[in-house]
Amino acid sequence: MKLAIAGATGLVGSKMLSVLSEEGVIIDELILAASERSIGKKVDFKDKTYKIVSMQTALDSKPDITLFSAGSTVSKEWVEKFADIGSFVIDNSSAFRMDKNVPLIVPEVNAEEINEKTKIIANPNCSTIQLVVPLKPLQHIYGIKRLVISTYQSVTGSGVAGISQMEDEREHKEPQLKAYPHRIDRNVIPHGGDFLPNDYTTEEMKLVHETRKILASSNMAITATVVRVPVTGGHSESVNVEFEREYDINEAKKLIGMMPGVVVMDFPMANLYPMPTMVENRNQVFVGRIRRDESVENGLNMWVVADNLRKGAATNAVQIVQYLVRKKLV
């Protein structure tokens, strides 16, 4: 298998290499591409050193699979070019997520949408990925009427700029890079992405539209609030679910725990529940604080945490690669 990574020097691109190595994905030829300023830089992978090449060079090599983690602008310019030469393209940007002809894939939830003709595959937003994994079995059994989501998102979701701003502020320095309009250290900012005419942000509306698409429920009522918090390690979400049918709380817990890729960490009397410090560098989605919402007839609350650079991006993409290999599509 010939595999290329576009954006190999970024935070997510680096994580992709780590996950590929850890998962033992067999790669016969690896091509690492990035922006013009990174061409010629060296990257180590499995005891070999690779030089970063241009996007055109990567395209000319005709990879079987291309992982894109270079931002929407680059994806819009290059993804279709790679697809046109027959490469399966797994794109981590928002460029194609809502395209009706492009599947939005979380392997545990809807991998069956991929076939030999699916040349462009969209990786969902990080906060959406961790949300839909525990929701899938609940939707299947009880039906979901309404979701209320509040996210507490790591600065790693803003890339190097987010980490740099927080670290500089902690050291009482003027930030060299600035991801946020306000101080993030010792603060929380109810603002993720750009504000839209409806006063929601782009990050909030991604949760609405992407969740509906992945769960194939265009009428599902969803509302979201995105908050940036001064942590690294992962995104956390408070999720309130209202079901269409009556449910049993113990059965619901079992359904969540049986879902592939989910770890239930729910022992509140022992102060055990998932937190970003626990899930960093782990590939699963962690769920705790599962309890009945006593304010509505068929409501449930849960707390969902995952490493946004791994399951929220790199791991999900690599799992799609593994699915393509397992189904002998490459």
Active site residues: 126, 235
3-state class (DSSP) for residue 23: coil
Tokens of 108: 């545990």
Encode 190-201: b = buried (16+ Cβ within 10 Å), e = exposed: ebbeeeeeeebb
Indicate the DSSP class of residue 185. T
What is each CA distance from 97 to 12, 122, 255, in whole angstroms?
18, 5, 28
The token duo for 17 is 């290499």
Which own/partner contact pairs does 97-104 have at CB distance under 8 Å and 24+ positions apart? 97/122, 97/124, 97/125, 97/206, 97/210, 97/213, 98/209, 98/210, 98/213, 104/210, 104/213, 104/214
Residue whose pair of structure tokens reads 């894109």 in the numeric block: 68
CA distances from 8 to 22, 30, 297 (A): 17, 11, 48
Q: How far apart are CA 63 and CA 7, in angstroms?
A: 15
Instruction: Report which of 273, 261, 298, 280 is spatially closest to residue 106, judged by C-alpha positions.
Output: 261
How far apart are the C-alpha atoms of 304 and 284, rounded to whole Å? 11
Q: d(Cα 148, Cα 125) in Å, to the nearest integer?
A: 17
C-alpha 118: how far from its chain's center?
20
Pull the structure tokens for residue 231. 């942590």
